[in-house]
Amino acid sequence: MNPVPHPPRALARLQFHAGFTLDDAAARVDYYADLGVSHLYASPLLTARPGSMHGYDVIDCHRINPEVGGEDALRRLVARLRARGMGLVLDIVPNHMFAGVGNAWWMDVLAHGRTSRYAGYFDIDWRSPDPLVRGRVLLPILGKPYAESLRAGEVRLDHDADTGAFVLKVYDNALPLAPETQAPLRAAGSVAQVLAAHAAGQGEEGFARLHALLERQHYRLALWKLASDSIDYRRFFDINELVGLRMEHTRVFEDVHALIFKLYAEGMVDGLRIDHIDGLADPHRYCGQLRRALYRLERQRPPGAPRGPAYVVVEKILAEGEHLRPEWRVDGTTGYEFMDQVSALLHDAAGAGVLDGLWQSISGERTGFADMAHAARRQILIDSFEAELDRTARALFGAARAELDSRDVSLAAIRRVLVEVLVHFPVYRTYAGVLGRDAMDDKVFGIACAGARRTVRLEDRELLEQVTVWLGGQAPRSLPPGPVRQARARAMTIFQQATSPMAAKAVEDTACYRYGRLLSRNEVGADAGRLGLPVADFHARCVERQASHPHNLLATATHDHKRGEDTRVRLAVLSQPAAAAAWAEVVTRWRSRHAGLRVQTEVGMAPSAADEYMLYQTLVGAWPPQLDPADAPALQAFAERIAAWQRKALREAKRRTRWTVPNEPYEDACDAFLAALLAPAQGFVAELAAFVARIAAAGAANGLVQTALRLTTPGIPDTYQGTDYWDFSLVDPDNRRPVDFDRRQSSLARHADWGALLASWRDGALKQRLLHELLQLRARHPALFAGGDYRPLAVATAEDEPGRLIAFARGWRGRAVIVLALRHTAPVLLDAESPRWSAAGTAALLPADTRIQGVPAGMYRNVLGDRHAEVEGPLDPADWLDPLPVAVLEAV
């Protein structure tokens, strides 16, 4: 049995659910081992709510989900992995659990209220300003107003014959009753008599008895619409069914992680991905606790399990200029910042003028993405996070009332100031603790307050400065112990936990569905307002990552992405001036010709101009390479995928429809528009396929370069399930569709030559081969890629260099790997049949005298081709960029 590498060489992410179990994954271990992956990277495996497709709605932290096979199946999977010298990295969810039936901890809180042993596990505000809720948990789960739901029989008393207890049935879900209310019910007569006496639909007496019973419970049932205004527990984003955990309490930390630590000690798990680290009260403390616990368990791990610190990465969105805190002692992030950087690198800023003009002329929007994001933040605060805003404002109000000097500050004024700070907050969150803010957080508050000063009331500007002091500008530790310090610390914690979900909901889930200049830049962790990234800036970020977090995860596709990795880079072609001009011409023609397919609704034309333009982009980006327009079943399947995306996109944008109040006439009209577009008689499908064919080869070239950079720049590459072939997926659930592993295993085993792969490039095997070769390269040189340096190579030419060539070296103790890649290839690949490259194609993009300087002398071979050659001086890229627009030279 081969030893499991530490740190991991390469990860492959798999999504587990009832339709893809741990035993299903065990059957694919050989495929991933042959591909060159060192670790599988599993979605959450703890028991989730029945039918969960993602595992983030955990109901039991002490069991492996039986729907994916349970712990026995996990042991079978790990045995297969160990036999191939592989490991397992597990995604865990410390921030929240599912708030509903099946979660014994949550049910105990509903039954016992504040006296429950689990009351401190969940982040519940027992001090609600609403006297009907104070001291209870608000459950906004009713589809109708409270009284109407009771009279309709949707809330009723029932009896559990197995336990002998009375329960409250809300629709089909059984909620517990407080123990102190069980005895009076049993004493009131037979089960049938008690149920009849509390039948609210049978008369006012039954209604009054049922209501009186509910008034004695530790929860209050409410209409679902009250959630955004009044919910009294911290949620994951605005999802009522996911309740926040108080991971800052040691007992909670140990209980939630008990099984995880057991699995690590037994050698079943080798690393962890921490979901939503920003939701925790104190990420620094949590990471320290986690690292110390894993270190203590290290000596218990059995032979065959990798030694060394456990691999730990955190899901963290880093804004421009923001850095992961080194004191967290984690290996890095899950790689959203890399996904942004490589995407921007493959976009061309030169196309911004054409695309800006096109977007503005079609949509009528004159604001940039930053202003659109600010507007979305302001809307989201009121529409979705009123309760969180109120809780944060009340915490700050408590800090104000704790001091004599600020007793005249009103709650209303604090709320006004808080809104403006949150609207202009430039990052997901800050991390002030007992020592207050550090320099990075001070910079963040400087930016937020500068923006807030422009929009806050003149009379509130002085309060704005005071609020920044309360939120960590003055270290709580500098204050004497007592109410003032406690109030400041509480306000700071609540504020910091609130900013991340508000930012994510406003930017990722609202503004990114409104701003349509080029959808390929509207991605998690990206600044959609920045179209392109210069090569020098990309190099600088790679050098920085190598110095700070060399084992950071590198992702280009995730379970959270808005568009698949190849969808994005195909659309990136449209940013190149030649392609942008062609795109503007064709989309203008389409809009004019399809005017008669739009219909008038109460909220305007459907689809709106902006929605129609974003639909065209999606059709172009997601069109499968092998889709024949004449294949009616395949075209219908594609249409269904786009229709599902469109309805979700319209609701996320929150302009003419939304999840909470769907505008079905508008949505149906947009569906009808899409169906008419793709109808055979329309003729649009043939034009769509023809336009995709014009940019497809350039998009595929981008996809190959993107994959190569993920496999060769500093960090640990993560390959999301199915993306070993082309990935033209859309947002979830589209990006979680079943994967055809048999086909992938067959093409990998064939090991076709490059010529054959290029001839059939549309089937995805070409991308798989590139991935395989580079994973094998990493296996041959693990130390070079784990800790070797990253050195940008100088591109020497007598002419102005347009920045199309990416060249760098990875080195370790005399060994070298050279990477050459071309970007912005539309000038020679527009209308091409294949992404095949040649010296002629290179010469068309680069000056003839282009040379790469600084390459160590010696014999090299291109692992993505057949060329071997001695390099003794400056390297001519045209000699190596064949057959692909990327070459990886291995010293031999």
Residue 473 is given by DSSP the state: I
Identify the residue whose tokens are 């070079």.
Answer: 784
Which segments of the chain belong to CATH 3.20.20.80? Answer: 11-95+247-334
Per-residue model confidence (pLDDT) at position 801: 59
Pairing of the two strands 39-42 and 11-14: parallel
Per-residue model confidence (pLDDT) at position 880: 95
DSSP letter for each residue of 392-409 = HHHHHHHHHHTSGGGTT-
Per-residue model confidence (pLDDT) at position 847: 87
According to CATH, what is the number of the domain 11-95+247-334? 3.20.20.80
- What residue ranges in 604-713 does DSSP mark as E strands? 604-606
Pairing of the two strands 332-333 and 311-314: parallel
> Tokens representing 472?
């960590």
Instruction: Answer positive or negative: Cα dihedral of 781, 782, 784, 789.
Output: positive
DSSP letter for each residue of 337-394 = HHHHHHHHHHS-GGGHHHHHHHHHHHH---S-HHHHHHHHHHHHHHHT-HHHHHHHHH
Which pTM was predicted? Answer: 0.96
Angle between helices 352-363 and 609-622 (to 10 degrees): 130
CB-based contacts of 163, cutoff 8 Å, min separation 6? none
Q: How far apart are alpha carbons 729 and 731 in whole angstroms?
A: 7
Q: How far apart are alpha carbons 43 and 736 in whole angstroms?
A: 12
CA dihedral 540, 543, 547, 550 (to 10 degrees): 120
Q: 291: burial class by Cβ within 10 Å (0-12, 13-18, 19+)?
A: middle
Q: Which CATH architecture has domain 104-240?
A: 2-Layer Sandwich (3.30)
Per-residue model confidence (pLDDT) at position 849: 86
DSSP letter for each residue of 432-471 = -BTTB--HHHHHHHHHHHHHHHHHS-GGGHHHHHHHHIII
Nearest to 598 by CA among 611, 588, 586: 611
Which segments of the chain belong to CATH 3.30.1590.10? Answer: 104-240
Residues of the chain with pLDDT under 50: none
